[in-house]
Structure 1
Amino acid sequence: MKHGTKWYITVLDNITHAVVGLVSFFAVALPAVLLFKFMKYIESLGVDGLTLAVLYTLESIMLLIDAALVVRYIAVKAYNDFKE
């Protein structure tokens, strides 16, 4: 905690960062889920092969990058909090 900073300011800062982190996670995860639902729909129409493989790959990449960025965000935030 910085010198002269009230303890509740630090707690509010952490809560704000957690909420912003969750909102950004869902902002990226939502298109991935919608892409999954869309793929299931076009799969039911009979589309198969390369098109679905590419879409499944894109969905997986989106979710993996999103998860990795959330973990990185939490790690950096925790490191900075402990450093203070």
Structure 2
Amino acid sequence: MREDPVSVQDLRHQLRSLRRQLDEQPGLSLQERDDIHALIDRIEDRLRTGDAGPHAGLTGGVTRAAERFEAGHPKVAGTLRSIGVALANIGI
């Protein structure tokens, strides 16, 4: 993983923002919340371990989640897309 402290810091900020958004979205089902929280946890684990190299499953999961929420929850989808960009910027 390429170490870019600004990008990693930005990604962590976006993950916190997404967690807040999930708490503020009354229209999300429990399953939808759980799915996104699991994705956030995987990303945070990846940042903690410093596991190098791309993970198609992780970035693909972010992309699929953004597409899934685009129509009903555009703010959540936008944050997910930003997280995907941040992941790419740090080489995940």
TM-score by length of 1: 0.46
- Look at both structures and tell me which one has the larger radius of gyration over its CA atoms: 1
Bigger relative CO (Cα 8 Å, ≥ 6 apart): 2
Greater helix share, 1 or 2?
Answer: 1
TM-score by length of 2: 0.42
